[in-house]
Amino acid sequence: MKFTNSREIFAKTARLIPGGVNSPARAFGAVGGNPLVMTRGNGSSIYDADGNRFIDYVLSWGPLIAGHAHPSVIEAVQKAVSDGLGFGAPTRGETEIAELIIATTPSIEMVRLVSSGTEATSSAIRLARGYTGRDKIVKFRGCYHGHVDPLLVAAGSAAATFGVPNSPGVTAGCAADTLVLEYNDTSGVQEAFSAFGGEIAGVIVEPVAGNMGCIPGKPEFLQTLREACTRAGSVLIFDEVMSGYRVALGSAQSRYGITPDLTTLGKVIGGGLPVAAYGGKREIMNAVIPVGKVFQAGTLSGNPVAVAAGLATLKLVSETENFYGGLETKTARLAEGLESAAREAGLTATAQKCGGMFTLFFNDPADREITDWQSASRCSEKTFARYFWGMIEQGIYLPCSQFEANFTSLAHTDQDIEQTIAAAKEVFSRF
């Protein structure tokens, strides 16, 4: 494949935009080389500036569960655009999408729309603190909750020590009330609540982690969080910006049968446009201004064009017969096929999956399962980089990091799956 146009465009962009990208996830730092510049998408395919076609497993980092340019989503957006781009006032679409979110997510009794996952998580954290009157927040190493200052922290030196900033610009004071624990570690949770339970405003967790690769939370771990928060009077926040409507109609919480107090949503609920939300128990949500005193606002929150895309997507996934069963089946077939291809070539590899998410980990032989950041971080980034570029040459577009989830969609066909597995076999045969 030739990438001449992509290289020329990116070279210019890099002089105008830091790193040439508007989000670091799009940079190819973990795999080397320069990002490809994309021009259009259709169904399961994405096309770059040189006209190369790729089967896409990035899907705009998860939102495009219906695939690129699904006709019903495009039609809804075109209709909304024809009526105007925004009003700064309530619209019927806001009511409709709120009704659908509440109807399909039993833990959510009221919901507030925002424009990004970062807005949703930062608002949920503020709300947990305002509602409880406490300051401390628990998060888990390897879980990403947006570029929120108190959550951009690294773990301390012991299970129950407070985090330290891991980004310039985040002050020590901002991070001082964030407690960083290990994902899937029930004993760490119990220790933290034993030491600080009466001071913990809330716990925020990805029930299915996606930013250290796809790592499902263990049921006993998530249940321990629920019980600990209930006993301590802390707010349990499920960050389902990535897993929301991607692993089940009722999101990960419905798969696990665990009810959080607050939930953050994003990606799929925008159908490819900027929509996110936070919601939960009516009593807690009524603490938000203008009913309560916890401040949160957004000029473009509930934008009618973005809401139209999200509403069309949510209607599609909720009304299509066996939507999630079919999605899970194709994801499992692909993940298992990739793992088998790698192992046949003599590589140590483990594929983990949940709903429409998966990751092929090139793991350390000692790690039979990837359960947390410690085991994920031992995976071979060098092997992944060879795999990534080999798949690019075979016409397969994957996330450009070992530590990002891959995504499937309604648009991916059996032929796409078989072609992807065949491509992996070809790539691995050269290792």
CA distances from 284 to 8, 106, 134, 178, 287 (A): 51, 15, 14, 21, 6
Question: Which one is catalytic: 239, 261, 372, 416?
Answer: 239
d(CA 235, CA 247): 23
The two three-digit tokens of residue 258, written as one number: 């665990």
Q: How many CB atoms lie within 10 A of CB 100?
A: 17
**What pLDDT does residue 169 have?**
84
What are 253-264's pLDDT values in tens digits?
999 999 999 999
Q: How many CB atoms lie within 10 A of CB 311?
A: 26
**What pLDDT does residue 163 have?**
62
**What pLDDT does residue 368 have?**
86
Question: Which one is catalytic: 57, 144, 324, 397?
Answer: 144
What are 227-278's pLDDT values in tens digits?
999 999 999 999 999 999 999 999 999 999 999 999 999 999 999 999 999 9
For helices 381-393 and 414-428, give the axis angle rounded to 10 degrees: 120
pTM for the model stands at 0.96
CA distances from 267 to 192, 264, 325, 368 (A): 31, 11, 20, 31
The two three-digit tokens of residue 298, written as one number: 């957004």
In order of their start, the domains of the chain are 4-69+322-428 (3.90.1150.10), 71-319 (3.40.640.10)
d(CA 418, CA 349): 19
d(CA 13, CA 22): 10
What backbone torsions phi and psi does residue 274 show, to the nearest 5 degrees? -75, 95
d(CA 45, CA 72): 17
**What pLDDT does residue 273 have?**
98
Nearest to 261 by CA among 237, 295, 229: 237
239 catalytic per annotation: yes
**What pLDDT does residue 155 have?**
52
Q: Is 109 exposed, middle or buried (0-12, 13-18, 19+ CB in 10 A)?
A: middle
Query: Which is it for the CA torsion 257, 120, 14, 12, positive or negative?
Result: positive
Q: How many CA atoms lie within 13 A of 66 on its CB side?
A: 23
Q: How many CB atoms lie within 10 A of CB 137?
A: 26
**What pLDDT does residue 173 have?**
81
Residues of the chain with pLDDT under 70: 154-164
Question: First vs last Cα of the chain: how many Å apart?
Answer: 20
What is the per-residue burial (b if ≥16 Cβ within 10 Å, else e) of 57-82? bbbbbbbbbbbbbbeebeebbeebee
For helices 92-104 and 304-319, give the axis angle rounded to 10 degrees: 30
Question: Which one is catalytic: 267, 278, 387, 397?
Answer: 267
